[in-house]
């Protein structure tokens, strides 16, 4: 374990925010301490696992490593919801870069998003994934160009990419500010960066508290709000041109509910029944306004920031 200052402002003046267990992997005994910087408001894990210790918290069954198209045990409606989320990611990119280019996905996992992007005319895609086994899967399954390691280790040429994406990745990185500075270096001057992270200012975070899926301890080292994410991007030399919560609200809510039930020892059978009910089209249709409203108010559980280099 290591103790670190605030990655945004460098202050060591913090207050305890909460203690969170690893509900994703069903390990209530694994507890992370979240603190809030009293100088800038950034919430982060402190102390935290070192980079050497971190792989122990990413076992093969870690869900983002799985290929959603191959998970036949998932209910069809859940598979459809996840596939719909991939299509929305593609639309985020093509909205701001309609003419194609070269795209890098940092933390590409099993390559499902990159596979969707390489099907879009005009796009050349590359990925980075620190887990060698998962990167190898993405290469063989989809024929993707995936480098193993971190962005800094791979060291791309300057002003090389038209678009860089980080889907649910920035919160996992030990030094996110340094990574964003490296992203700025490799982006073309008219390139864009898309970052999706959990939104600590969301209604879901207030509702579920320690069992909110956006905390995902101990893997999420940082938990951002719109203000702290914008501040960190600005510190790295980016200007945010859009920030919204129009993605992933329903799926994240159901995952948070699953964590809440796990924390209260609800049987797996009942959890599966409830999840199946929630993914029924009627349930999604009836509840749609409940997720549309927080998304429009930037109170949804996930937020996407689109940023350009600041001249």
Q: Which two tokens stand for residue 118?
A: 């390489």
Instruction: Name 7's bridge partners.
Output: none
Query: Is the pLDDT higher at 139 or at 282?
Result: 139
Query: Is the pLDDT higher at 250 or at 71?
Result: 250
For 206, counting Cβ atoms within 10 Å of its Cβ (0-12 exposed, 13-18 middle, 19+ buried), the class is: exposed
How far apart are alpha carbons 85 and 78 in whole angstroms? Answer: 11
Give per-residue pLDDT as tens, 209-268.
999 999 999 999 999 999 999 999 999 999 999 999 988 888 899 999 999 999 999 999
Q: How many residues are given for the chain?
A: 311
How far apart are alpha carbons 300 and 308 in whole angstroms? Answer: 23
pLDDT at 247: 85
* Residues 203 and 181 sit within 8 Å (Cβ to Cβ): no
How far apart are alpha carbons 84 and 89 in whole angstroms? Answer: 9
pLDDT at 73: 54
Q: Is the pLDDT of residue 14 over 60?
A: yes
Q: Which of 98-102, 195-199, 285-289 has the lowest mean pLDDT?
A: 285-289
pLDDT at 68: 47
Q: Is the pLDDT of residue 303 over 80?
A: yes
The stretches of the chain forming alpha helices (DSSP H) are: 76-96, 112-118, 132-142, 151-154, 176-186, 203-208, 226-235, 249-263, 268-278, 281-296
Give per-residue pLDDT as tens, 269-280.
999 899 888 878
- The three-state secondary structure class of 253 is helix
């Amino acid at each position: 374990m290591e103790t670190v200052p605030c990655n945004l402002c460098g202050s060591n003046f913090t207050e305890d925010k909460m203690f969170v267990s690893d509900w994703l992997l069903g390990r209530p005994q694994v507890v992370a301490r979240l603190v809030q910087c009293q100088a800038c408001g950034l919430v982060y894990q402190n102390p935290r696992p070192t980079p050497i210790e971190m792989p122990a918290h990413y076992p093969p069954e870690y869900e983002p490593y799985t290929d959603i198209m191959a998970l036949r045990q998932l209910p069809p409606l859940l598979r459809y919801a996840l596939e719909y989320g991939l299509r929305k990611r593609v639309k985020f990119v093509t909205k701001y870069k309609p003419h194609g280019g070269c795209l890098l996905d940092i933390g590409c996992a099993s390559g499902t998003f990159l596979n969707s992007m390489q099907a879009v005319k005009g796009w050349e895609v590359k990925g980075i994934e620190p887990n060698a086994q998962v990167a190898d899967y993405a290469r063989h399954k989809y024929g993707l160009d995936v480098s193993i390691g971190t962005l800094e280790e791979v060291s791309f040429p300057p002003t090389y990419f038209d678009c860089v994406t980080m889907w649910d990745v920035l919160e996992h990185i030990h030094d996110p500010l340094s990574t964003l500075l490296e992203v700025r270096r490799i982006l073309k001057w008219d390139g864009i960066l898309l970052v999706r992270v959990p939104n600590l200012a969301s209604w879901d975070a207030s509702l579920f508290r320690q069992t909110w899926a956006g905390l995902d301890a101990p893997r999420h080292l940082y938990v951002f709000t719109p203000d702290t994410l914008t501040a960190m991007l600005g510190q790295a030399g980016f200007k945010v041109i859009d920030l919204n919560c129009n993605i992933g609200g329903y799926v994240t809510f159901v995952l948070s509910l699953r964590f809440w039930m796990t924390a209260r020892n609800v049987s797996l059978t009942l959890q599966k029944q409830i999840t199946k009910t929630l993914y029924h089209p009627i349930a999604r249709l009836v509840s749609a306004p409940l997720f549309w409203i927080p998304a429009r108010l930037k109170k949804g559980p996930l937020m996407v920031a689109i940023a350009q280099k600041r001249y």
